[in-house]
């Protein structure tokens, strides 16, 4: 399952492949990955737009343009791939954004999440991300300690609850806890300052 580092990697792919480039064509090969938007509306909204600097919040990738923002969530098996135009298609390429010599391909085998269109880059993004906690990499040590010290459940559950902290999944949480020398079953509100500090350092 793509977690925060994977989605950050997809953000870098998007930035290096598409930033400043014009979307010449939108090809939807499987509308099952579209959420709240039709194929026709997606094409009208994006064709002719230029990609701006992308952003990430937790496991969400925000593909900003000079108009709407295309929001991507990769679920269990999603990927964002930069290909040369004319490269052989993959059977799991669901949406292709043609950029001239390159193409951005949203590739996903299981289709558990997909693409959302935020036509208002402020209000719609906020609506779609409603309920998400702060991005895991955005918190300084003091804010992180304050957040976890108020959680009464298990520390792993707090780390992987996207409404508490956005971006971490099971694999990453297990690795962070192991590196910090903490059992996943420890209560978050019973960790001392040193333990919370180690946890924050390993998360960063």
pLDDT, position 14: 98
pLDDT, position 174: 97
From 33, 87, 93, select the one nearest 42 (Cα to Cα). Answer: 33
Alpha-carbon distances, residue 103 vs 17, 23, 45, 86 (angstroms): 8, 9, 18, 9
- Tell whether 40 and 116 lie within a shared domain: yes
- Tell whether 32 and 54 lie within a shared domain: yes
Paired tokens of 125? 């993004």
CB atoms within 10 A of CB 137: 14
Q: Is residue 134 part of a domain?
A: no
Beta partners for residue 51, in sequence order: 65
Q: Domain holding 86: CATH number?
A: 3.20.190.10
Q: What is the DSSP letter of 204?
A: -
- Tell whether 193 and 100 lie within a shared domain: no
- Tell whether 66 and 147 lie within a shared domain: no
Write down which residue in 73, 95, 128 finishes a domain: 128
Q: Is residue 133 part of a domain?
A: no
Q: Which residues contact 1 (CB under 8 A, 6 or more apart)?
A: 75, 76, 77, 169, 170, 171
- Tell whether 54 and 114 lie within a shared domain: yes
Helical H segments across 73-183, by residue range:
123-128, 141-149, 155-160, 170-180
CB 106 within 8 A of CB 72: yes
CB 62 within 8 A of CB 68: no
pLDDT, position 4: 92
pLDDT, position 106: 99
- Tell whether 162 and 89 lie within a shared domain: no
Buried b (16+ CB within 10 A) or exposed e, 33-69: bbeebeeeebeebbeebebbebbbbbbbbbbbbeebb
Q: Is residue 135 part of a domain?
A: no
Q: Is residue 136 part of a domain?
A: no
Would you write out the chain's pLDDT as a tens digit for each of its 204 residues?
789 999 999 999 999 999 999 999 999 999 999 999 999 999 999 999 999 999 999 999 999 999 999 999 999 999 999 999 999 999 999 999 999 999 999 999 999 999 999 999 899 999 999 999 999 999 999 999 999 999 999 999 999 999 999 999 999 999 999 999 999 999 999 999 999 999 999 998
- Tell whether 12 and 112 lie within a shared domain: yes
pTM of the model: 0.94
pLDDT, position 204: 83
Give the domain extent around 161.
141-203
């Amino acid at each position: 399952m793509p977690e925060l580092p994977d989605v950050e990697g997809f953000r870098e792919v998007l930035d290096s492949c598409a930033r400043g480039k014009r979307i010449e064509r939108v090809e939807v090969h499987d509308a099952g990955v579209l959420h709240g938007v039709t194929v026709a509306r997606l094409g009208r909204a994006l064709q002719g737009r230029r990609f701006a600097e992308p952003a990430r919040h937790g496991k969400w990738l925000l593909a900003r343009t000079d108009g709407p923002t295309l929001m991507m969530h990769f679920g269990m098996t999603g990927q964002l791939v930069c290909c040369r135009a004319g490269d052989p298609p993959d059977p799991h390429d669901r949406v292709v954004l043609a950029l001239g010599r390159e193409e951005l391909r949203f590739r996903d085998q299981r289709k558990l999440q997909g693409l959302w269109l935020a036509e208002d880059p402020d209000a719609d993004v906020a609506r779609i991300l409603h309920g998400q906690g702060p991005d895991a990499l955005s918190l300084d040590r003091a804010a992180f300690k304050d957040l976890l010290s108020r959680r009464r459940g298990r520390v792993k559950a707090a780390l992987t609850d996207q409404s508490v902290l956005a971006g971490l999944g099971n694999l990453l949480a297990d690795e962070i806890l192991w590196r910090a020398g903490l059992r996943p079953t420890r209560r978050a509100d019973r960790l001392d300052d040193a333990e919370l500090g180690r946890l924050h350092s390993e998360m960063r």
